[in-house]
Structure 1
Amino acid sequence: MNHTLRAIAVYCGSATPSDSRYLTLAGAVGAELARRGITVVYGGGKLGLMGALAQAALEAGGKVIGVIPEAMVDREVANEACTHLHVVATMHERKALFTELADAFLTLPGGVGTMDELWEAISWAQLGYHSKPVGLLNAFGFYDGLLGFVRHITDTGFVRPAHARILIAEHELDLLLERMEAYEPHQPIFRMKASDL
Structure 2
Amino acid sequence: MASTEERQRCAWANSDPLMAHYHDTEWGVPVRDGRMLWETLMLEGFQAGLSWQVILRKREAFRAAFAGFDPMKVAAFTDADIVRLLADPGIVRSRAKIEATIAGARIFNAMQARGEDFSAFCWSFTDGEPIRGDGKASETPLSQAISKELKRRGFKFVGPTITYAWMQAVGIVNDHGDGCFRRAAV
TM-score bin, normalised by smaller chain: under 0.3
Q: TM-score normalized by structure 1?
A: 0.24
Q: TM-score normalized by structure 2?
A: 0.25
Higher relative contact order (CA 8 A, sep 6+): 2
Larger helix percent: 2
